[in-house]
C-alpha cells in the first residue's frame, strides 16, 4: 500500500479512494499525533475546518468534524473558504490545527484533506508520516482512547471567518486599486465570494466569471487550468488584467490587457522587483522550484536578485523560506507565498498585490511582465507508467544525458513523478521551440518503454 500523503495532503476520488471512514480516521489520528507531540499541552484543543464547494466536501467535512470532536477537539466550522483563509484563521484564532477539504485544481470527483499545524503552517513530513502510521495501526482494530461526557469536542459555525480574512487581505495591500478594471475567474471554487469582495473593497472595478459554484462545476472549463474564458473576457471588457484562481484559490495566474497569459514565474518576477524596490525582499532573494523557466533565472540574475531553487511543491518553497528568513517564493503554477502576510500560497493575495503594482506604477501588466522572457518550455505528462522507478532506470538516465548534451547551455531537461497524480512529467526547455518539442517527444517515448 502506497503512502497516503502526497506533496499536498491526502488526495483521491471522493467516496472511492477518499472515503468518510478514511477522513474520520485520519482526523482522529491527527488529533492523537499532535497531542503526543505536545501541541495540546495544558489546554483544550481547537481546530478550524473549511472546504471548497465540491459536493463531496459536504460529507467529508461531516466526517472530519466527527473525527476531531470524537477525539476531544473543539471545532470551528468556517464553511466554504479558500485554503489560505483556513491557514490564516488557524493562525489568527490561535487554533491548534486546521483542516481544509479540497483537491485544488483537480476535477470535481476528486477531493483531498490538508492539515495545518498551530500558526497555520503545513505539517512537517515527519508528522504526516506519524499520522499515517497511527491511522493504519488503529484501522486494523486497535481501539482509540476516546473521551466521554464533557471531554468530547464541541462544534460550532464560525461565520466571522469571511470578513476577518477579507479585512486581512485589504489590510496588507501597499496601495489601493482605484481606476483598475479587473476580470476575476473564480473556477466556481472556494474564492467565489471572497475574491470579488476583496478586489471591490480595494477599489477595483470588478467583472466576475466562474463564480457560481453548484458543487459539481468546480474547475470545469474555467479557472487557472482553463484560461480561455478569462482571456476572452479581459479583451471583451477592455480590462487592465484578469486573475484566475484554482478550486481552493491557493494559486493565481493572470492575463494581461491584450489577452496574453502571465504565469507564476512572471508574477513572481514582478513581485520580486516591487518588493526589492520597497526594501521588503529580505536577503535580496526569491525562492522558486526547479520547474521555473530558465527565463526567470536569467531575469533575476540581470536584476541583481538572488535565486534559491527547491524541489517541486510549495511546501518545499516554504521550508526554504522559513529556514533562511526569505520573504517571497513561489511556483510557475501560480503558488506564490508572501511570508510576511501568509503561511501558504494565497491566490487572492497574489492577485491583489499584482494589481497593486500596476496601480502604483501606472504601467501595464504586459510591460511589467516583460522583465522576463519565457524560453520555450514543453511539458509532457506520461500516464500509465511506474512513476516510482524514475530515478532507478538506467535506460532513462542515459536518454536524459543524451538530451542534455543535445541542448547544451541553451536548455535543460527535468523528469519528475507527479506528487498528486499517477504520472511522470517530462519538461524540456530550449531556445528553439521545435527542438524542445522533439527532445520532449523522444524522452516521453523512453519513459513509456522504460517504465511502462
Q: Name the helix (H) or strand (E) containing 319.
A: helix 314-324
Kindly list the distances between the CA atom of residue 24 and the CA atoms of 87, 100, 326, in Å, as whole numbers in the listed order: 20, 13, 36
What residues contact 127, with CB distance under 8 A and at least 6 apart? 33, 34, 37, 117
* DSSP helix/strand/coil, 6: strand
384 is in an annotated binding site: no
Choose the catalytic residue: 56, 104, 224, 292: 104
Dihedral class, residue 304 (left if φ above 0, else alpha if ψ from -120 to 50, else beta)? left
248 is in an annotated binding site: yes
185 is in an annotated binding site: no
Contact status, residue 68 vs residue 45, Cβ threshold 8 Å: no
Q: Find cell 518503454 and name the residue.
A: 449
DSSP string, 327-393: SEEE-TTS-EEETTT-SS--HHHHHHHHHHHHHHH---HHHHHTTS-PPPEEEEEEESS-GGGTTT-
What distance in Å separates the CA atoms of residue 194 and residue 452, rounded to the nearest whole number?
44
314 is in an annotated binding site: no
Strand order in the sheet with 155-157: 5-6, 9-13, 110-117, 97-101, 46-51, 74-80, 155-157
What residues contact 59, with CB distance under 8 A and at least 6 apart? 15, 20
Q: Dihedral angle at the C-alpha atoms of 344, 325, 372, 171, nearest 10 degrees? A: 50
* DSSP helix/strand/coil, 417: strand
Beta bridge partners of 428: 378, 413
Closest CA to 314 of 342, 283, 335, 290: 335
39 catalytic per annotation: no
What distance in Å separates the CA atoms of residue 253 and residue 332, rounded to the nearest whole number?
9
Q: Residues marked as binding for Mg(2+)?
A: 104, 246, 248, 250
Which residues carry out catalysis? 104
Question: What residues form the annotated binding site?
Answer: 104, 246, 248, 250
Amino acid at each position: 500500500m502506497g503512502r497516503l500523503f502526497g506533496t499536498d495532503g491526502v488526495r483521491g476520488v471522493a467516496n472511492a479512494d477518499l472515503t468518510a471512514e478514511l477522513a474520520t480516521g485520519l482526523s482522529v489520528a491527527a488529533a492523537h499525533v499532535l497531542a503526543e507531540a505536545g501541541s495540546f499541552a495544558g489546554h483544550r484543543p481547537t481546530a478550524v475546518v473549511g472546504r471548497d464547494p465540491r459536493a463531496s466536501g459536504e460529507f467529508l467535512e461531516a466526517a472530519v468534524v466527527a473525527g476531531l470532536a470524537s477525539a476531544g477537539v473543539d471545532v470551528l466550522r468556517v464553511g466554504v473558504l479558500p485554503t489560505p483563509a483556513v491557514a490564516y484563521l488557524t493562525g489568527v484564532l490561535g487554533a491548534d490545527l486546521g483542516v481544509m477539504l479540497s483537491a485544488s485544481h483537480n476535477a470535481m470527483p476528486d477531493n483531498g484533506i490538508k492539515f495545518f499545524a498551530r500558526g497555520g503552517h503545513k505539517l512537517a513530513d515527519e508528522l504526516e508520516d506519524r499520522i499515517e502510521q497511527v491511522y493504519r495501526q488503529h484501522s486494523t482494530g486497535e481501539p482509540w482512547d476516546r473521551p466521554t461526557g464533557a471531554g468530547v469536542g464541541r462544534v460550532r459555525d464560525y461565520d466571522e471567518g469571511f470578513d476577518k480574512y477579507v479585512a486581512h487581505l485589504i489590510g496588507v495591500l501597499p496601495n489601493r486599486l482605484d481606476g483598475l478594471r479587473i476580470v476575476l475567474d473564480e473556477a466556481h471554487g472556494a474564492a467565489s465570494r471572497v475574491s470579488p469582495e476583496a478586489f471591490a473593497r480595494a477599489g477595483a472595478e470588478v467583472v466576475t466569471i466562474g463564480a457560481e459554484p453548484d458543487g459539481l462545476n468546480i474547475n470545469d472549463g474555467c479557472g487557472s487550468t482553463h484560461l480561455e474564458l478569462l482571456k476572452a473576457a479581459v479583451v471583451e471588457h477592455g480590462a487592465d488584467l484578469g486573475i484566475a484562481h484554482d478550486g481552493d484559490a491557493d494559486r493565481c495566474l493572470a492575463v494581461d490587457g491584450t489577452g496574453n497569459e502571465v504565469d507564476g514565474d512572471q508574477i513572481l518576477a514582478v513581485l520580486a522587483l516591487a518588493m526589492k524596490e520597497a526594501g521588503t525582499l529580505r536577503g535580496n532573494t526569491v525562492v522558486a522550484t526547479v520547474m521555473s523557466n530558465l527565463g526567470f533565472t536569467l531575469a533575476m540574475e540581470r536584476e541583481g536578485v538572488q535565486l534559491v531553487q527547491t524541489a517541486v511543491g510549495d511546501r518545499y518553497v516554504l521550508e526554504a523560506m522559513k529556514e533562511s528568513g526569505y520573504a517571497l517564493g513561489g511556483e510557475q503554477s501560480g503558488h506564490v507565498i508572501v511570508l510576511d502576510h501568509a503561511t501558504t500560497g494565497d491566490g487572492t493575495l497574489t492577485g491583489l498585490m499584482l494589481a497593486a503594482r500596476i496601480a502604483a506604477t501606472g504601467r501595464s501588466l504586459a510591460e511589467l511582465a516583460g522583465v522576463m522572457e519565457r524560453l520555450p518550455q514543453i511539458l509532457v505528462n506520461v500516464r500509465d507508467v511506474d512513476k516510482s522507478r524514475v530515478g532507478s532506470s538506467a535506460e532513462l538516465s542515459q536518454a536524459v544525458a543524451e538530451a542534455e548534451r543535445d541542448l547544451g547551455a541553451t536548455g535543460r531537461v527535468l523528469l519528475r513523478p507527479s506528487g498528486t497524480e499517477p504520472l511522470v512529467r517530462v519538461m524540456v526547455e530550449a531556445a528553439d521551440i521545435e527542438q524542445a518539442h522533439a527532445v520532449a517527444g523522444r524522452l516521453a517515448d523512453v519513459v513509456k518503454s522504460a517504465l511502462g
